[in-house]
Amino acid sequence: MNAAASNPSDAPPRIAVIGGGITGLAAAHRITELLPHAELALFEVASRLGGVLDTVHVERFLVERSADNFLTKLPAAVELCRRLGIADQLQRTDETRRRALVVRGGRLLPIPSGFFLMSPRKLWPLLTSPVLSLRGKLRLLAEPLVRRRKPSPTGRGQAEGDESVAAFARRRLGREAFERLVQPLVAGIYTADPEKLSMAATMPEFLSYEHQHGSLLRATLTTAPLNSPSADHASGPRYALFAAPEQGMASLVSALAARLPRDTINLNARIMQLHRQVDGRWRLDFGSNPQSAIRNPQSFDAVILAVPAPAAASLLVSLDAELAAELAAIPYAGCAVVSFGFTRDQIAHPLDAFGFVVPEIERRRIIAASFASLKFPGRAPADHVLIRVFVGGALYPERVDLPDADLRQLALDELTDLLRISGEPLVADIARWPNSMPQYHVGHLDRVARIESLTARHPGLALAGNAYHGVGIPQCIASGETAAEQVAASWS
């Protein structure tokens, strides 16, 4: 987000970062690299850092309560790990199981080898797969005959106005390929309703394929293969391009926190209002919290808001009602993650993949499941398996609020049926993330452009987070670092 600090002077700037998730930590760390003499303060409303990133040990299982890896194709996360000195701790996924399964008729079937989201890189596995009917396969193979949409004059990669993921996939690949492959894969990534999800904001590469080649099939069968010799044999997510710290995502949070100056971090710090003073500086008013030592308002030369869009809207409403309204209009969805530990001999299924996704048309009660300890070693004891089950999302938001016992039983019943599990799990852990995932609905890029334009009216203010230009960990890190660089430019 565009920002310029106010009233630069010879005095060290005072910079506040509001939000202690991965975005805020990345922003604060970048400030220390660019302005080592700045007076930096980071404020987090919760009692711990990391936001949704939360690694816990449940008996002998290492459980990630939200994201458990990041995409290495985008450089921000890997580069940050290098600067923090923890790049040698990164693990790649086990290449022998780099594929995903999908539910059809109560059975777990392999997603065709080489199929990524909307991108079939190999035709024979697709033609022989039982996931699609003969009619569905023929319709997908007819994709090169579908007329391309005209490019948008906006230059953002949009076509004749933004298009939903569902509309694009049905138009190009057919209804069955959308329902059986695209929808469950998209839901597993974005916990979103593809009928509302924006193609331009979430999958612009496929729009480029259409515009440049006239066909997704033509583009993906003729362009260079993915960045891994084994990638063409994988399916579903691009597992070859994922990595994670061997001790979990919390180790990235801890490494960032350890690099910040002493006394920078303020936990249990609830900011009630953000004001622009007459002198151009920013005043933060804090709410009363018996666990926080902060009582009085504080003034800063610049502020980076690394909080969810609704929280940013609440802080900015008295300053700029128009900007606050745009931020508040970004919708959010929630998800629950239920993790189970089993002995391997409790599970009859071969577990010859990293997990499975569930099409909405199957009318089951979970979104997906991940075989966490098979993706990365060290997540479960020998001869044991850690499985994470995802419930809720934009399509079934009410399930996130189920009582613990009901949520646990729902997830266990679904796993037992699909994986042929006997007996009870050794451990179970439930994590709820209500309203934690921004939904990039159709028109999202236009909204973000308006937010950036409105933010630019307020020197010394920067916005960062997963609500704007990507929901993954690399995008969050890049967003925080970009905000820090914009703020620091006024003192460079």
Nearest to 16 by CA among 344, 483, 489, 491: 483
State both tokens at 78: 């890997």
CA distances from 190 to 79, 152, 235, 392 (A): 24, 25, 18, 12
Helix then strand then coil, in percent of the chain rounded to 5, is 40, 20, 40
One pLDDT digit (tens) per residue for the chain, 492 residues: 654 444 445 789 999 999 999 999 999 999 999 999 999 999 999 999 999 999 999 999 999 999 999 999 999 999 999 999 999 999 999 887 888 999 999 999 999 988 888 888 888 888 999 999 999 999 999 999 999 887 655 444 444 579 999 999 999 999 999 999 999 999 989 999 999 999 999 999 999 999 999 999 988 877 644 434 444 455 545 556 899 999 999 999 999 999 999 899 999 999 999 999 999 999 999 977 666 667 678 999 999 999 999 999 999 999 999 999 999 999 999 999 999 999 999 999 999 999 999 999 999 999 999 999 999 999 999 999 999 999 999 999 999 999 999 999 999 999 999 999 999 999 999 999 999 999 999 999 999 999 999 999 999 999 999 999 999 999 999 999 999 999 999 887
Catalogue the E-assigned strands of 94-190.
Answer: 101-104, 107-110, 115-116, 119-120
Q: What is the pLDDT of residue 251?
A: 97
Would you list the domain boundaries of the chain? 14-51+249-330+440-491, 69-96+332-438, 112-227
Q: Are 388 and 338 in contact (CB under 8 A)?
A: yes
Class of domain 69-96+332-438: alpha beta
Q: What is the pLDDT of residue 296?
A: 78
Task: For residue 163, give the 3-state DSSP assignment.
Answer: coil
Non-local CB neighbours of 434 within 8 Å, separated by 6+ positions: 334, 400, 401
Strands 14-18 and 302-305: parallel
> What is the distance between the alpha carbons of residues 40 and 421, in angstroms, rounded to a whole number?
52
Torsion of the alpha carbons at 88, 90, 96 and 98, rounded to the nearest 10:
-150
CA distances from 183 to 114, 445, 470 (A): 17, 21, 19
Non-local CB neighbours of 323 within 8 Å, separated by 6+ positions: 313, 316, 451, 454, 455, 457, 458
CATH 1.20.1050.10 is right for the domain spanning 112-227: no
> What is the distance between the alpha carbons of residues 430 and 405, in angstroms, rounded to a whole number?
10
Class of domain 14-51+249-330+440-491: alpha beta
Phi, psi dihedral angles at 88 (to 5 degrees):
-70, -10
Count of H-run helices and E-run strands, the chain: 17, 22
Nearest to 212 by CA among 223, 201, 227: 223
Buried b (16+ CB within 10 A) or exposed e, 443-456: bbbbbbeebbebbe
